[in-house]
């Protein structure tokens, strides 16, 4: 996943990540939500961000649909394009980590190898994988965009869970059952994890 242009050198800033974290009053981290389409990744990520923002934290959500309006707008949904999509997002998240921000990503990110490569881009403990565990039937019931229906009709190719595989995390930092848990309960569990790890302070 790591790429580097020729004839370039990393410029070390005087304003460091540590100084930014001290100014913010919390540590930075990458909080990576993964799961099937309809599992509630974006909903949970934005709800967590809202709670963090109210606590005065510096946050930003990288949303799967939003990045395809620009940064990844040239990519399709083949396995290769999905891998490149995650590579780009991981590199952006790494930069935002250095900026002292709590960066929440909401992507299906179906393949373990890409998620693991994203994890390896940053120091140990800075990548927090949260698996939004939701059964396929429930995801299809929540299908407000009608994507599952189109996929089953063959109108959408390479659709995760139907014609393209999803590989659940083997050792995520947190599993949230978004089929049975309420949104508030799910948010509470994410915040509790961040507190336990010392990323944010207890209130």
* pLDDT tens string 131-147: 999 999 999 999 878 99
Between vectors from CA 137 to CA 66 and to CA 167, what angle results, nearest 5°? 60
Whether residue 198 is predicted with pLDDT greater than 90 in this model: the reply is yes
Active site residue 164: no
Rounded Cα distance between 41 and 125, Å, is 21
* Every domain of the chain and the residues it spans: 24-135+166-196
Q: CB atoms < 10 A from the CB of 202, how many? A: 8
Nearest to 189 by CA among 40, 36, 24: 40
Whether residue 120 is predicted with pLDDT greater than 60 in this model: the reply is yes
Which of the pair, 2 or 78, is modelled with greater confidence? 78
Residue 104 burial (CB < 10 Å; 0-12/13-18/19+)? buried
Looking at residue 40, what is its pLDDT?
94
Looking at residue 85, what is its pLDDT?
84
Compute the chain's Rg from CA coordinates: 17
Rounded Cα distance between 82 and 202, Å, is 37
Looking at residue 71, what is its pLDDT?
77
Rounded Cα distance between 125 and 134, Å, is 25
Q: Decide if 187 contacts 45 (C-beta within 8 A).
A: no
pLDDT tens for 143-189 read 878 999 999 999 998 899 898 899 999 999 999 999 999 999 999 99
Tell me the average pLDDT across 97-117.
94
Which CATH entry fits the domain spanning 24-135+166-196: 3.40.640.10, 3.40.50.300, 3.30.70.20, 3.40.190.10? 3.40.50.300
Looking at residue 5, what is its pLDDT?
57
User: What separation in angstroms does the CA of 32 have from each of 23, 83, 143?
Assistant: 24, 15, 22
Q: Which runs of consecutive H residues, i.e. helices, occur in 37-101?
A: 41-54, 64-67, 79-98
Looking at residue 167, what is its pLDDT?
95
Tell me the average pLDDT across 20-32.
96
Q: Decide if 9 contacts 105 (C-beta within 8 A).
A: no
Looking at residue 7, what is its pLDDT?
61
Looking at residue 10, what is its pLDDT?
64
User: What separation in angstroms does the CA of 50 have from each of 25, 45, 55, 61, 184?
Assistant: 17, 9, 9, 10, 12
**pLDDT grade for 26, boundaries at 50, 70 and 90:** very high
Looking at residue 73, what is its pLDDT?
81
pLDDT tens for 37-65 read 999 999 999 999 999 999 999 999 998 67
Q: Which of 28, 37, 42, 109 is catalytic?
A: 109
């Amino acid at each position: 996943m790591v790429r580097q242009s020729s004839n370039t050198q990393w410029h070390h800033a005087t304003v460091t990540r540590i100084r930014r974290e001290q100014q913010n009053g919390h540590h930075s981290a990458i909080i990576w939500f993964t799961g099937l389409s309809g599992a509630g990744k974006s909903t949970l990520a934005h709800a967590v961000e809202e709670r963090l923002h109210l606590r005065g934290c510096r946050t930003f959500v990288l949303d799967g649909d939003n990045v395809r309006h620009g940064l990844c707008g040239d990519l399709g949904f083949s396995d290769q394009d999905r891998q490149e999509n995650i590579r780009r997002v991981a590199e952006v998240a790494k930069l935002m980590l250095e900026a002292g921000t709590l960066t929440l990503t909401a992507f299906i990110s179906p393949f373990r190898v890409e998620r693991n490569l994203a994890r390896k881009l940053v120091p140990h403990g800075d990548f927090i994988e949260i698996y939004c565990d939701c059964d396929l039937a429930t995801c299809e019931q929540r299908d407000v965009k009608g994507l599952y229906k189109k996929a089953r009709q063959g109108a959408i190719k390479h659709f995760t869970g139907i014609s393209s595989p999803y590989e659940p995390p083997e050792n995520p930092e947190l599993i949230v059952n978004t089929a049975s848990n309420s949104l508030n309960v799910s948010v509470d569990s994410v915040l509790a994890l961040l507190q336990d790890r010392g990323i944010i302070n207890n209130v």
